[in-house]
Structure 1
């Protein structure tokens, strides 16, 4: 596996990305499209009804859509957040972390997010990929920092919560609700700033020889910038249109998906359950 300073961006990208991984990631939108082709009555039976929940519909609801625009938006969102997340994870030596986490999302998060909807009892139906997409956004926040650590070794994954709290602060601005949300946003700004100051204070004056210069070369910096734009920009898609009487449960599930999507892999890394790919351990 090429280190950032050993090869061009495109060569490293070809070396890092695996066709089988791309095919596996493509199964999610493929299933969503296949389910959309089913009759409406059948799709309704696969959605998660709060008044009549089941283990089957808790899982299948993630792939159900009743409107082509809703399906297209969710599939495009998935392609962006999961796609960028995978590429950055592969380039930074966190492909295994991404793969294990993505599998966890698909197996456990899909039904879990549906059942957690029941924490806010109401007569409604839940469906769509958006909650799962937000979990991948949480993972994107983690791998962005991991990607930065491969370009400049003064950046450490242990400071990833700083980026996480910065996103939570943005969400609080996008969804102006009760004072609780405002308080969470303010607290998130303080915590994010604390992580930045802590990280900055512990940095050596210069990165390890050969690492820092690659950060400013074509491709490497561009990929990181696009990842940051996707991370912060997707919050406007995931939350801005949901403010209103019918949006509170969606906001709740989207925020829950984002938080769990970050916390689960970060905790696994912190506890040593997961770690960088072996090809990078000797860098």
Structure 2
């Protein structure tokens, strides 16, 4: 917990930070996805995004369309983990406004943006599913995780160090998802070098402001939540970027997943950097 804050239990933090209206707002997306899934198959087929015949309606609606129960369940579980856990971390970090603005952007604007960027890779195929939006929430998770650590565990950790965590995830993604081994190793090595640079910056900041009593009075719940957040952020790429192997005539769109992840981190980070939102740990 930040040394400047009064001692607060983890339960008190949840009670004060998490609001029912926010949870209901986040629940709208699963409700819409389930509603679309209940539509007749022919109706859902008319809503998929055809790259050779794109429309504004399908560019947006396709991100809420699913056909297989397994695909639906995987995306809903991913949304619950990424958006739900991200919201809790943001609430505990005092970043509810940032999270709310980012979430609204992901749901209202990102479907059109991701579909449009998909057209940069011409192909005769269709796209659908919530995965791109989910990956945007995955990018946001890394940002609010760093804000949480700075607010609740070590106030010397600033949001400006968040790109280090982002590039750690990029290194994982490059090794997991890229088909070219040579390219993946080069990208992973470059990302790791950036991570090391940020790690030295964090170490220098901590040495410049030593606090030997930092952990005194800090409840294990705060630390455990930070650890779980780190595992979720660095572990989800193994789910969001599976090996590119076709199954049943379908192929996971790694390109749109990567776009969602990168934009999901960059957009709110830039918003913080230009002062659009206040963050005590920036």
Normalized against structure 1, the TM-score is what?
A: 0.91
Deviation at 1:208, TM superposition (A): 9.3
Aligned twin of 2:176: 174
User: Is 1:123 the counterpart of 2:127 in the alignment?
Assistant: no
Structure 1: how far apart are the matches of 2:69 and 2:252? 22
CA 1:261/1:229 → structure 2, altered by over 3 Å: closer, same or farther? same
Relative to its length, the structure with more helix (as a share) is: 1
Q: How many angstroms apart in 1 are the aligned matches of 2:159 and 2:215? A: 17
Partner of 1:193: 196
- Match for residue 78 of structure 1? 79
Contact 1:10 1:219 in 2 (8 A): no
2:102–2:268 Cα contact (<8 Å) kept:
yes
Residue aligning to 2:22: 21
Q: Unaligned 5+ residue runs, structure 2?
A: none
Alignment deviations for residues 233-277 of structure 1 (CA, whole Å, 9 cap, x no partner): 11111112434598877111111110000000001101111223x
Deviations 1:34-71 (A, max 9, x none): 00000000001111111110111111011000001100
Work out whether 1:251 is the aligned partner of 2:254.
yes
**Residue in structure 2 matched with residue 31 of structure 1 by the alignment:** 32
1:1-283 equivalences in 2 (<5 Å): 5-150=6-151, 151-178=153-180, 179-203=182-206, 204-207=208-211, 212-215=215-218, 217-243=219-245, 250-276=253-279
Match of 1:274, SS? Answer: coil
Q: What do the CA deviations read for 1:201-227 (whole angstroms, capped 9, x no partner)? A: 122343497x64354x23111111111
Q: Is the 8 A contact 1:4 1:214 kept in 2?
A: no
CA contact (8 A) 2:177 2:243 kept: no
Equivalent pair of 1:49/1:126 in contact (CA under 8 Å): yes
Q: What's the C-alpha RMSD, in Å, of the aligned pairs?
A: 2.1
Runs of 4+ in structure 1 displaced over 3 angstroms? 2-5, 211-215, 241-249
CA contact 2:176–2:243 (8 Å) conserved in 1:
no
What is the distance in 2 between the residues matched to 1:205 and 1:247?
Answer: 53
Offset of residue 176 of structure 1: 3.9
C-alpha distance in 2 between matches for 1:16 and 1:186: 39
Q: Is the 8 A contact 2:142 2:166 kept in 1?
A: yes
Deviation at 1:198, TM superposition (A): 1.4
Assess, with a 3 A threshold, how the Cα gap between structure 1 residues 213 and 5 changes in structure 2: closer, same or farther: farther
TM-score w.r.t. length of structure 2 = 0.92
**Aligned equivalents of 1:126 and 1:12: distance in 2?**
40
Distance 1:218 1:31, change over 3 A: same
